[in-house]
Chains A and B, each alone.
Chain A
Amino acid sequence: MAKILTVDDSKTMREMVAFTLESAGHEVAQAEDGVEALSIAKGQSFDLVITDINMPNMDGLTLIPELRALPAFKFAPILVLTTESAADKKTVAKEAGATGWIVKPFKPEDLLATIKKVLG
């Protein structure tokens, strides 16, 4: 199935996303902030990146353009994880180059349905 990178400073969130994706047969790599995500991304390609916005060291909004600058991620789907109340975050994320967003909290089945929009 697909190879997915999930980036979140919250271990709980990261593991829940990973668990959900892995139980659908996807291969998941985890990073706890933008810096780590970028160093992982530099060595390989992913079919999808799911990143939190608010993170230490390098936040999601900085990470996205950095990823887009890498050839392997020029067209790759990059989704941001955001909370309901942060409607403006969606716009900012799109401007930064995100493909779309996933709203927290999520139900596992919704997450899987949502990523179908970007996975071949």
Chain B
Amino acid sequence: MALDLDQFKQTFFEESAEGLDIMEDGLLNLQPGSPDIDLVNDIFRAAHSMKGAAGNFGFNHVVDFTHALETLLDEMRAGSRNVTEDTVSLLLQSVDCLREMLSVLQEGTDPDESRSVELLQQIHALLENSGDTPATEAVAAEVPAAEVTGWKILFVPNPDLLRTGNDPARLFRVLKDLGTLTVQVSTEQLPSLDQLVPEDCYLSWSLTLLGNVAEEQIREVFEWVEDDCEIEISPLESAAPVQSEVSEQPQRSGTDRRTGGDRRESGGSKEATSIRVGTDKIDSLVNMVGELVITQSMLSQVGRGFDMDRLDALQNGLVQLERNSRELQDAVMRIRMLPINMVFSRFPRLVRDMSQTLGKDIELVVSGEQTELDKTVLEKIGDPLVHLVRNSLDHGIEAPDDRIESGKPPRGTIRLQAAHEGGKIVIQISDDGAGLPVNKILAKARERGLVEPDQTLSKEEVLDLIFQPGFSTADVVTDVSGRGVGMDVVRRNIKALSGMIDVESEEGVGTTFTIRLPLTVAIMDGQLVRVGTETYVLPLVSIVESIQIENQRLNVIASSQQVYTLRNEYIPIVRLHDLFGQKPDSNDLDKQLLVVVEGEGKKAGLVVDELLAQQQVVIKSLETNYMAIEGLSGATILGDGTVAVILDVTGIVHLSSSDLGAPTDLQPTDPQPTDLDHAA
């Protein structure tokens, strides 16, 4: 029988990735000099587990590498090795190296072993340094060739043999598989019944095993009871010497370890994304499905031979159904929710490494790491956060000397917080660094023509300028940040998740970035509007207000562009009817409604016939099901089964301005007035 364990490779990779996270996390929290033994234990255990499983897949260099780490960690654990900053660094590098080795194995690409070899040498050097040589692998056992055709075995167990769970009869059964076995029992030691302790073993045996069997094979059978018995194994005197083949010893270090290496290629990379869900979530799901089934059967009961007397029961059933499906929806969404820690966990390392590079002393304080958010959002928020943290490290926190000079503690602090706030998740990255230089930003913006020389801006408006494309106030482009990816990209990425980012800063005190994200991107709160005969959905978050159009506030500028005056702002009007080829209820604008929306900082007024209900809609992607269309972000299915298109406000604003010839950044040659650009 050959059982293939390769199917567990994916589990191994996932588990190892978690193990590496535990190791990294543990190492970062380890205090050189006075290490927390529990923490060392955790790190050790992660390395140990990885080694154990890696061996089974023939990942020999992972085994060798983790073995070296394990030896080092074992010494740290036993207290025979001091935990120094250097050791921790070496171990951290090893974690990186292991991560690389595993991803190479997972993808089936050619490994570059130079790094692991070098690290391994360093670890071995360190191990030898303390006089403790690394535990050598078991020396290949000497297996004497059996030259006999049979053995005589005398087996006298200690009375308490049975208490270890061993059973002589079972051992004999295994022996029987090796050859022809004759068993003779000796009852000499058996006491009289009144003195007999039923749990003790009083018997002894003498056995004869005929066959081409090596002594080692017999020893192996008795391996577990060696210390609990007297055993004598001697070749049968009459036996003629026979050449015996040494049986394969799969668990010895030699052969098995090598063969595994070739298997790697056939493995290929079958990466499936999986998600770890707590059983409590699954349980509640199962519960709800149960309730749904009950409701369904109740409704079908009501439906059979329905008459108006049972209207009440029907309505109750429907209410029940609504509650069930809402709960089910919540529960299913919760399955996709993962703790933000999966993103936050990379920062301790980032901060540690980077503050060393920059020669700064920085502490990272993380809170709310258990806050959950949608997996998709989680995957996409990582890069913007890294960018913001890098910025804080690089430009925010000052060098220790500068900090002392300005009366601050030499050690800077970066805070990373996450929390739920009214159906949104709020992530804050704050530092107690130098803060953003308002005057410098303004000067730079003027230099770049982003702000008119005579234009006055509030502090908030000035700070908001850092999100403009290509805007960077850093004096030097350092190794850490300033690689050309600006804050505009950060804002764009966050907007793509229907989120918002704001900045607050006080010069000399610090800077705080606040990111607000929806809990999920698959469902959104929508405002249904009617345009002609069609229903469209507007994202509720993008709606500023909805008003009855008053004719006297309408102005026409240029040829066809109409604007609406609202509290000293000029809001360009977008006629959705024209855009979608619908016929309005009335040609008079003042009989219609204006929905003021905001997208990418620009406002627009959308003319609609009627505001319908507000409801949560499940977003179906147009791109995956049809094709991307500018101005539309997706579609959804309404309660009555009809399809409604979801409007992309930013796209609509763009579309209308280019279609209707309104001023826009995209058409710099357009001879239209430009002040509208800043109207918002």
Question: Chain A residues in contact with chain B, CB under 8 A?
Answer: 9-13, 15-16, 19-20, 23, 52, 54-56, 68, 74-78, 81, 83-85, 87, 91, 94, 97-101, 103-110, 112, 116-120
Contact = CB atoms under 8 A, between A and B. Distances in A.
A106 B48 CA distance: 15
Contacts of A13: 49, 52-53, 56
A11 B274 CA distance: 15
Contacts of A84: 137-138, 251, 253
Interface string B223-237: 110010000000000
Given A20-B3, A83-B52, A117-B166, 16 more contacts: A13-B52, A19-B3, A54-B44, A56-B42, A84-B137, A84-B253, A103-B251, A105-B63, A107-B250, A108-B2, A110-B250, A116-B170, A116-B174, A116-B177, A117-B170, A117-B224
Contacts of B250: 107, 110
A92 to B, nearest CB: 12
Q: Which 5 A-B pairs have the closest CB atoms?
A: A105-B55, A100-B224, A99-B165, A108-B3, A77-B165
A19 B48 contact: no
Given A11-B11, A19-B3, A85-B138, A104 B165 contact: no
Contacts of A16: 5, 8, 53, 56
Query: Is the interface on chain B under 10, 10 to 19, 20 to 34, or 35 or more residues?
Result: 35 or more
20 contacts: A11-B11, A13-B56, A20-B5, A55-B45, A68-B163, A75-B167, A75-B199, A76-B165, A83-B51, A84-B251, A85-B137, A100-B224, A108-B5, A109-B3, A116-B170, A116-B174, A117-B166, A117-B221, A118-B167, A120-B170
Contacts of A105: 52-56, 63, 251, 256
Contacts of A91: 227
Given A104-B52, A106-B251, A119-B170, A9 B45 contact: yes
Contact of B15 (A10, A85, A110): A10
A52 B7 CA distance: 21
A25 to B, nearest CB: 12
Nearest to B12: A12
B460 to A, nearest CB: 49
Nearest to B177: A116
Given A13-B49, A16-B5, A100-B224, A116 B56 contact: no
A16 B11 CA distance: 10
A107 B252 CA distance: 12
Interface in B144-176: 162-167, 169-171, 173-174
B185 interface: no
Contact of A118 (B1, B49, B138, B165): B165
Contacts of A74: 163, 199
